[in-house]
Amino acid sequence: MSEDFDVIIAGGGPTGTFLAAELRLHNIRVLVLEQETEPASLTRIVALHIRSLELMAMRGLLERLLKHGRRRPAAGFFAAIDKSAPVGLDSPYAFLLGIPQPTLVRVLEEQAISLGAEVRHGCPVAGFEADDDGVTVALADGERLRARYLVGCDGGRSTVRKQFGVGFPGEPTKSEMLMGEMQVGLPPDEVAAIARTVAHKRFWVRAFGAEKYSVLVPAAAGVADRSRRPTLEDFRQQLIAVAGTDFGVHSPVWMSRFGDATRLAESYCVGRVLLAGDAAHIHPPIGGQGLNLGLQDAFNLGWKLAAQVKNRSASGLLDTYQSERRPVAEAVLDNTRAQAELLSPEPGAQAVRRLLTKLMDFDEVNRYLFGQITAIDIRYDLGEGPELLGRRLPDIALTEGNLYGRLHSGRGLLLDRTGQFEVGRWSDQVDQLTDPGAGLDVPAVLLRPDGHVAWISTPEQPDPKPHLARWFG
């Protein structure tokens, strides 16, 4: 069988489509297989945190998304504790962007297609066989396709992960919540007054834009079919049970049911098969981190997998996808576990919540928790070096324009304020910018395609060439 594609991606959600676009920046032959034929009939609003907004800015997508989204203050993330964002954040994108998930997927899919990716809807992966040279993927209609790599971006119930036998240990669902966006039949002041009387921390009815409210309420216990989508009547019954009234809810925009299962794949990469997004990790949506975590997986993986396909990667480059991203997921799972405990109505949990609420008045505590939720505190282990090494470089000002405007191509960047350094034989993968006016506190830095700092000019590390070789082959 001939090799049809370099990479086949199972799952055309945000993670899969974003990964396809990243691969196409490097001219990788990509096919996305999505089992759904049409978007969901009810439009769920998802939230993009600061780091994800930065990724979109790096690829020139942010302005398109801002037209369809709604900005909200970057605050109250950790266990819904009402605290403002830390002052002096080093990002011009220090806000939360609420956007319909189908709109986000459409923008990312259009980007991937415009770059040359192929996307097929109504084509679930039925099975696959992997060998030393590639993967043969079988579709439900009997068609068989060949690729060098298969990436499972097909959600928490991932067919790819299950069929490949990758373990998914963790905790099963113990309780479920109903969440949605809808209108209410009571006046706003009456809604607010009733909501204040409900002590349950896993409940809210909050104004969310013109005439709409965000509603969160515990689901009824003992639901036989957890895959069944909730109905408006489910919301009404549970609101009455918890708050004594259904608030006259009507005209839902979207409704969903989610549990508190927490699981992490034992491996992100086995031979020619990789996992990303919810296929690799699931956790409660507390703090709104799940979709963002998947997008950031794709951003980390895309350029590394492209280099592997083109046989130009340094030894072990693709292995760094797991060594960098799996610890990030572990940290997210831990902070969602902690947040879930703080939302418990039990007296002990509420005592800890009151204590943490006071501690968050200290800037160091608030900044630490904020950085975890928004992913701006991630530091990959790239060895010994200055504090900036392994961290994201913010969208600093240049003499002309800003840094992220120079990263749309998905290439690396050597940013030099001195004019002393050159990319040399890596010019086919790394751009070079000499700018004495760049807002850097160091003479020069090397950025990977994902915007993380791979080298900083210091007396101990004066030459970028070993680091260019490490990351660009």
Q: Is the dihedral of CA 61, 67, 69, 74 positive or negative?
A: positive
CA distance 140 to 338: 41
pLDDT recorded at residue 198? 86
Model confidence at 226: pLDDT above 80: no
Quote the longest CA-to-CA distance of the chain.
71
pLDDT recorded at residue 109? 97
**Using 50, 70 and 90 to split pLDDT, how confident is the model at 42?**
low
As a whole number, mean pLDDT of residues 51-64 equals 98
Q: Contact at 8 Å (CB) between 239 and 245?
A: yes
As a whole number, mean pLDDT of residues 226-236 equals 87
Strand partners, 391: 379
pLDDT recorded at residue 14? 97
| More confident of the two residues 256 and 25 | 25
Q: If you average pLDDT over every residue of the chain, what do you get?
A: 93
Model confidence at 65: pLDDT above 90: yes
Task: Kindly give, in sequence order, each residue whose CB lies less than 8 Å from that of residue 314, ignoring residues fewer than 6 positions away.
Answer: 469, 470, 471, 472, 473
Tell me how many degrees the CA angle 305-307-308 measures, rounded to the nearest 5.
Answer: 60
pLDDT recorded at residue 351? 95
pLDDT recorded at residue 154? 97
Domain parsing of the chain, residue ranges: 5-169+263-374, 176-259, 403-472
pTM, 2 dp = 0.93
As a whole number, mean pLDDT of residues 137-160 equals 96
As a whole number, mean pLDDT of residues 427-442 equals 97
CATH number for the domain whose boundaries are 403-472: 3.40.30.120
What fold characterizes domain 5-169+263-374?
Answer: FAD/NAD(P)-binding domain (3.50.50)
Q: Contact at 8 Å (CB) between 115 and 150?
A: no
Model confidence at 417: pLDDT above 80: yes
pLDDT digits 0-9 by tens, 359-411:
999 999 999 999 999 999 999 999 999 999 999 999 999 999 999 999 999 99
Comparing 5-169+263-374 with 403-472, is the CATH topology the same? no
Question: Domain 176-259, CATH 3.40.190.10 — does that match?
Answer: no
Cβ density class 310-329: b for 16+ within 10 Å, e for less: eeebeeebbebbbebbbebb
pLDDT recorded at residue 204? 86
CA distance 328 to 411: 23
